[in-house]
C-alpha cells in the first residue's frame, strides 16, 4: 500500500472514516480544527453525518444520543473544549455508550495557550468527570500510530461499550508525515448492537440507555460490574513499547510527542556510551504497571519526561513503588523539551542515582 | 363489550411516583395515547430529562435514553441523526429546558431538528424541592425566592414559545394547559400534531404544557389548577405560536 503525506489532524479524520465512523459532532477549537474541517468535507462522500454543535457540551451529548442509538461516533476537541465535555463523558461511561473522543492537547490552565502540552493527562486518565469510571486512553507517538490507534479505537469502544480517548497534542495535529491508511471497513461487518435505542421494532423488550440507579444496592452492583469490565480491559488491552530494554541501565519514560524527542536524546547518549533506553506507554489508561515490574531488576533509575509538571510521573512512581529511583523532567505551558536538555537531565539522573548507590 | 378505559399500550404497568394531582401523570398518559394512535410504539425513542420526570423511561413502554440536565435536545439530535426513521421525543421540565438547557433547546429549534419536545412548565423546580425557576412568576414564593420573585433582582420570567417563535426551524410551537378536561383534550391534540410534524419531516415541534406542582406550591391539587388558570395563563397565554401550515 502506498504512503500518503498528510497532516496529523486530517489523518485522524481519514482514519475515523475508514474505521466506519459515520457520525461526527464537534465545535471549533485550535489546534484541532482540521479534524472537523476534513470530516465536514469527507462525510457526505460516505453518506455520513457531520454536525457542528452549538458547544462542546451539546456535541458530547449528541455523541451520547447517537452512540446510544447504535452509530459509530467520534468527537474531537482540545483542552478547554474537553473540559466542557466531562459531564457528558461521565454519562457516556455510566451508560456504557461506545464512542471515540480525540483531544489534541494545548497548554492550560484556563484559556492557556494554543501551543502543545500533555497537561490533560490527569483529566484523561483519572476521571475528569464525576464518578468511579475509567476511559481507555491511547497515546500515539507518530502519525502512523495516530492513524492505527484511531482506527482501532472504534473497535475497542464497541468491544467494551466504553468511551475511548485518543490523546494527542498540538504538534501531532499540525505536523505532516507519510502514513499508510488502513482499508475501508465494511459497515455490514460491524458488530450488531442489540442494546441500542433504535425504536423497539420486533424486540420483546424495550432498550434503555441510562446511568441512573436510585437504589444504592443497584448502584453498587452497576459500579462493581463496571469495575470488573475495567479489570478485563487492563488485563487484555494494556500496551507499551520499549527501546533498548535488553541492555539499558537507565530508562526514560515518555509518551506521545515527547517520546520522539526522547529517542533523539537516547541516540546522542548512546553515542557517548551510555546504556539508556525508553519505556513508552501506549495505553495511558490502563497504565502498563507490569512493564516496570519486569525492568526493575535490571534498571538503576527511571527518568520521566513530560510536557507537564509531572502528571504521568505519579503513575510511574506508583508502578515503581520505590523499587528504584524515579526522577522527573518536564516543560509545560506550551513549551516543548529540547533533546539536549533531556539528555543532560538523564546525565544528572545517572550521577544522582550513581552517587546514592 | 367495548372497554371504556384502559392503559395505553405505550405505557408500562408501573405505578408512577408523581404526587397526587400532578399534571406529569396526565401528560404521560396522553402522550402514550398519541404514540398508540399514530402507531409509533415500535419506532419511538424517548429522551428523559432531569427533573421529576427523570424516571419517564420506566413509565413509557418504548426505547429510551436518559439525558443529563438540560441536554435532552442534544441527545435527541444524536439519536435522530443516526435513526432518521425513529420518532424521537424529549420530555423536559422548565428548569431543564428553560434554564440549564437553553442553549440546547434554542439550537435544536434553530436547526429545525426533526424531534418532538414536550415541555412541562410548572414555574418551579419540582424534584429538588421547590426552588425558583426561570419561569417562576413575578412575586411567586419559592424556597430560593422566599420573599417572592423580585424582578429587579432576578428578571422577568422567560416565555419559551415566544422566544423560539423567532426561529424559522421551529415549525410548530403551541402552549396548552392541563387545568381542566377541555384543555387536557387540547393538549392531546397539540402533542399529536407535534408527533405528526416530525413524521412529515417538517422540522422542530414543541408543546409547552402549563402545569402545576401542588406539592411545592403548597396547595391542594384543586387549588393548584385554579392557580394555573388565574395566574399562570395570564402570563403564559395559550395558543399556537408557530403553525406547520405556515410552512406547507
Ligand atoms: C448538572 C445538574 N445540576 C443540578 C441538578 C439537580 N436538579 C435535579 S432536578 C432539577 C430541577 C428540575 O426542575 P424542572 O426541570 O423544572 O422539572 P420538575 O422537577 O419541576 O418536573 C435540578 C436543579 C442535576 N441533576 N444536574
Ligand atoms: S414535586 Fe411537583 S412536579 Fe414533582 S411530582 Fe410532585 S407535584 Fe409533580
| B209 pLDDT higher than 80 | yes
For residues B149-155, average pLDDT: 97
DSSP secondary structure code for residue A280 in this structure: E
- How far apart (Å, rounded) are the C-alpha atoms in residues A72 and A25? 12
φ/ψ (deg, to 5) at B121: -100, 100
DSSP secondary structure code for residue A175 in this structure: -
Query: Which one is the CATH code of B24-247: 3.30.930.10, 3.30.565.10, 3.40.50.2020, 3.40.50.970?
Result: 3.40.50.970
* Nearest protein CA to atom 8 of ligand 2, as residue: B22
Cell of B145: 425566592
Q: Which of A59, A109, A119 is nearest to A84 (CA)?
A: A59
Q: Are B89 and B44 in contact (CB under 8 A)?
A: yes
Interface test with A, best of B14, B57, B78 (most A CBs within 10 A): B78
Q: Are residues A309 and A344 in the same domain?
A: yes
Q: Are residues A189 and A288 in the same domain?
A: no
Q: Are residues A219 and A247 in the same domain?
A: no
Ligand of minimum distance to the alpha carbon of B128? 1
Number of separate domains in chain A: 2
At residue A283, the pLDDT reads 98
Burial B99-131 (b: 16+ CB within 10 A, else e): bbbebbbbbbbbbbbbbbbbbbbbbbbbbeebb
C-beta atoms surrounding B200 within 10 Å: 14
- How far apart (Å, rounded) are the C-alpha atoms in residues B184 and B29? 11
User: What is the arrangement of strands in the sheet containing A136-138, beginning at the earlier edge strand?
Assistant: A49-52, A23-26, A73-77, A99-105, A163-169, A136-138, A283-285
Beta bridge partners of A7: A176
The angle formed by the CA atoms of residues A70, A72 and A78, to the nearest 5 degrees, is 125
Structural domain of A169: 4-237
At residue A30, the pLDDT reads 95
What residue spans define the domains of chain B? Answer: 24-247
Q: Are residues A75 and A179 in the same domain?
A: yes
Q: Are residues A212 and A275 in the same domain?
A: no
- How far apart (Å, rounded) are the C-alpha atoms in residues A290 and A143? 26
Q: Are residues A52 and A75 in the same domain?
A: yes
Q: What is the pTM of this model?
A: 0.97
Beta bridge partners of A277: A251
Contact across the interface for B61 and A206, Cβ inside 8 Å: yes
Best substitution site from B51, B122, B130, B228 to test ligand 2's pocket, by max atoms within 8 Å of Cβ?
Answer: B122
DSSP code per residue over B147-166: T---HHHH-PPP-HHHHHTT
ipTM rounded to 2 decimals: 0.96
Q: Are residues A263 and A135 in the same domain?
A: no
Q: Are A57 and A27 in contact (CB under 8 A)?
A: no
Last residue of a domain, one of A217, A237, A257: A237
**pLDDT tens by residue, B20-79:** 999 999 999 999 999 999 999 999 999 999 999 999 999 999 999 999 999 999 999 999
Q: Are residues A274 and A198 in the same domain?
A: no
Specify the CATH number for the domain of residue A301: 3.40.50.920
Contact across the interface for B42 and A210, Cβ inside 8 Å: no
Per-block average pLDDT, block size 10, for chain A (357 residues)? 92 98 98 98 98 98 98 98 98 98 97 96 96 98 98 98 96 96 97 97 96 98 98 98 97 98 98 98 98 95 98 98 97 95 98 84
What is the distance in A from the centroid of ligand 2 to the CA of A91?
25
Contact across the interface for B68 and A91, Cβ inside 8 Å: yes
Best substitution site from B19, B50, B136, B224 to test ligand 1's pocket, by max atoms within 8 Å of Cβ?
Answer: B50
Strands (E), B25-164: 44-48, 63-66, 87-93, 116-121, 124-125, 131-132
Q: How far does chain B reach from its first CA to its final CA, in angstroms?
A: 42
Confidence tier at B1 by pLDDT (50, 70, 90)? low
Amino acid at each position: 500500500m502506498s504512503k500518503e503525506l498528510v497532516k496529523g489532524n486530517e489523518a485522524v479524520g481519514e482514519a475515523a472514516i475508514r474505521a466506519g465512523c459515520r457520525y461526527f459532532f464537534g465545535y471549533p477549537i485550535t489546534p484541532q480544527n482540521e479534524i472537523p474541517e476534513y470530516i465536514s468535507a469527507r462525510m457526505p462522500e460516505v453518506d455520513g453525518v457531520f454536525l457542528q454543535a452549538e458547544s462542546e457540551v451539546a456535541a458530547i451529548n449528541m455523541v451520547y444520543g447517537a452512540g446510544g442509538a447504535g452509530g459509530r461516533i467520534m468527537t474531537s476537541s482540545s483542552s478547554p473544549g474537553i473540559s466542557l465535555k466531562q459531564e457528558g463523558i461521565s454519562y457516556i461511561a455510566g451508560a456504557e455508550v461506545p464512542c471515540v473522543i480525540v483531544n489534541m492537547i494545548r497548554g492550560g490552565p484556563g484559556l492557556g495557550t494554543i501551543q502543545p502540552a500533555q497537561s490533560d493527562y490527569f483529566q484523561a486518565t483519572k476521571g475528569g468527570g464525576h464518578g468511579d469510571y475509567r476511559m481507555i486512553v491511547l497515546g500515539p507517538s507518530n502519525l502512523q500510530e495516530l492513524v492505527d490507534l484511531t482506527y482501532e479505537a472504534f473497535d475497542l469502544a464497541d468491544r467494551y461499550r466504553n468511551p475511548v480517548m485518543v490523546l494527542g497534542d498540538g504538534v501531532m495535529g499540525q505536523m505532516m508525515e507519510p502514513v499508510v491508511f488502513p482499508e475501508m471497513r465494511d459497515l455490514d461487518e460491524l458488530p450488531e448492537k442489540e442494546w441500542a435505542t433504535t425504536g423497539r421494532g420486533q424486540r420483546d423488550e424495550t432498550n434503555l440507555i441510562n446511568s441512573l440507579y436510585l437504589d444504592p444496592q443497584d448502584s453498587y452492583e452497576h459500579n462493581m460490574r463496571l469495575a470488573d469490565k475495567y479489570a478485563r480491559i487492563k488485563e487484555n488491552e494494556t500496551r507499551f513499547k520499549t527501546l533498548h530494554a535488553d541492555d539499558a541501565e537507565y530508562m526514560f519514560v515518555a509518551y506521545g510527542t515527547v517520546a520522539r524527542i526522547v529517542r533523539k536524546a537516547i541516540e546522542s547518549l548512546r553515542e557517548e556510551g551510555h546504556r539508556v533506553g525508553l519505556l513508552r506507554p501506549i495505553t495511558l489508561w490502563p497504565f502498563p504497571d507490569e512493564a516496570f515490574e519486569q525492568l526493575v531488576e535490571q534498571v538503576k533509575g527511571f527518568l520521566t519526561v513530560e510536557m507537564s509538571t509531572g502528571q504521568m510521573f505519579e503513575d510511574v512512581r506508583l508502578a515503581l513503588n520505590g523499587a528504584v529511583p524515579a526522577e522527573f523532567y518536564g516543560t509545560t505551558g506550551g513549551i516543548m523539551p529540547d533533546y539536549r536538555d533531556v539528555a543532560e537531565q538523564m546525565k544528572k539522573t545517572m550521577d544522582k542515582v550513581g552517587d546514592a548507590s | 363489550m367495548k372497554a371504556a378505559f384502559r392503559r395505553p399500550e405505550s405505557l408500562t404497568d408501573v405505578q408512577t411516583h408523581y404526587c397526587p394531582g400532578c399534571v406529569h401523570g396526565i401528560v404521560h398518559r396522553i402522550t402514550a395515547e398519541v404514540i398508540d394512535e399514530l402507531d409509533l410504539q415500535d419506532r419511538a425513542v424517548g429522551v428523559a430529562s432531569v427533573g421529576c420526570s427523570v424516571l419517564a423511561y420506566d413509565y413509557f413502554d418504548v426505547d429510551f435514553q436518559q439525558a443529563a440536565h438540560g441536554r435532552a435536545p442534544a441527545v435527541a439530535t444524536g439519536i435522530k441523526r443516526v435513526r432518521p426513521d425513529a420518532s424521537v421525543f424529549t420530555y423536559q421540565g422548565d428548569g431543564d429546558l428553560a434554564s440549564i438547557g437553553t442553549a440546547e433547546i434554542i439550537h435544536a429549534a434553530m436547526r429545525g431538528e426533526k424531534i418532538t419536545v414536550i415541555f412541562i412548565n410548572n414555574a418551579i423546580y419540582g424534584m429538588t424541592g421547590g426552588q425558583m425557576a426561570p419561569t417562576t412568576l413575578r412575586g411567586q414564593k419559592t424556597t430560593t425566592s422566599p420573599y417572592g420573585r423580585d424582578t429587579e433582582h432576578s428578571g422577568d420570567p422567560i416565555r419559551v414559545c415566544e422566544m423560539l417563535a423567532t426561529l424559522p426551524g421551529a415549525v410548530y410551537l403551541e402552549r396548552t394547559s392541563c387545568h381542566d378536561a377541555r384543555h387536557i383534550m387540547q393538549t392531546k391534540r397539540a402533542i399529536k400534531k407535534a408527533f405528526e410534524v416530525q413524521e412529515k419531516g417538517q422540522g422542530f415541534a414543541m408543546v409547552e404544557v402549563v402545569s402545576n406542582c401542588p406539592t411545592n406550591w403548597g396547595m391542594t391539587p384543586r387549588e393548584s389548577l385554579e392557580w394555573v388558570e388565574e395566574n399562570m395563563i395570564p402570563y403564559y397565554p395559550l395558543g399556537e405560536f408557530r403553525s406547520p401550515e405556515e410552512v406547507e
